[in-house]
Structure 1
């Protein structure tokens, strides 16, 4: 009896571990540095995620005024226009046009040593659409960008 109970417990734990390992990871951490780089150029969002969270960590030392970074997500086709409008918005608005409908999600603008997170509903994404994440600080998006796949 004890042997069967032990086997049942092992089976239950194994199934639980396999189930949790198969669960989608609905978050990621992106690091930005003083060399105007993200530590990743691609993020894949599992279609089973209803929400997705991006944690941005500015691992550099420079202040926001000289080397501020954020994480902005939009359709690839909208990146240039969003970036242009971001410059016009200025530092006071974190280099993002207020309530820009082309922006799917964004963090705040960070200086060295700071962190922020953004969670967005994946219902805003469509399979097969091209998405890009980038930094909207003036001149940064040329180097600080990547693709988000859904």
Structure 2
């Protein structure tokens, strides 16, 4: 009887479908200029990946707005500097900046937004950064994004 139960359990495990890759992440930003994560791992089996941004603070976007900008690590500072000059109307991202892989709009306290991007834009082994390009935030509100191997 025990052998039958063990065999039945083994068969049920074998018939389980493969788990789907998680192709999204939620990043929270607060009024203390902090993201709740410093690393995002993108599963290489995803064709698209979504970054959801939730502003858990209370201050309006003009005072303490946050966004998420994705670039190669080497492009982060230049994209952030050019983004500051682009202003709030452009979500602190230079229009048509080829260094920017994806970005969310700037949001204020209590708001949420998201951005979806094509995973084929990422290369294995490349170092990517995500950051908030609101003036003065990018050096503090930053993390790494990696493609799983």
TM-score, scaled to structure 1: 0.88
Distance in 2 separating the partners of 1:11 and 1:61 = 52
Q: How many residues align?
A: 142
SS in 2 for 1:109: coil
Distance in 1 separating the partners of 2:74 and 2:29 = 23
Distance in 1 separating the partners of 2:44 and 2:70 = 17
Match of 2:108 in 1: 111
Question: 5 Å matches for 1:58-137?
Answer: 58-137=55-134
The alignment status of 1:143 with 2:143, answered yes or no, reads: no
Deviations 1:54-93 (A, max 9, x none): 1100010000000000000000000111011011101121
Displacement of 1:127: 0.5
Distance in 2 separating the partners of 1:83 and 1:104 = 13
Displacement of 1:19: 1.8
Displacement of 1:12: 5.4
TM-score, scaled to structure 2: 0.88
Distance in 2 separating the partners of 1:32 and 1:14 = 41
1:61–1:130 Cα change, 3 Å: same
Greater helix fraction, Structure 1 or Structure 2: 1
Distance in 2 separating the partners of 1:63 and 1:36 = 13
SS in 2 for 1:19: coil
Distance in 2 separating the partners of 1:11 and 1:137 = 54
Displacement of 1:15: 2.6
User: Structure 1 segments of 4 or more deviating over 2 A?
Assistant: 10-16
Displacement of 1:14: 6.4
The alignment status of 1:25 with 2:22, answered yes or no, reads: yes
RMSD of Structure 2 on Structure 1 (CA): 1.9
* Structure 2, gaps ≥5 residues long: none
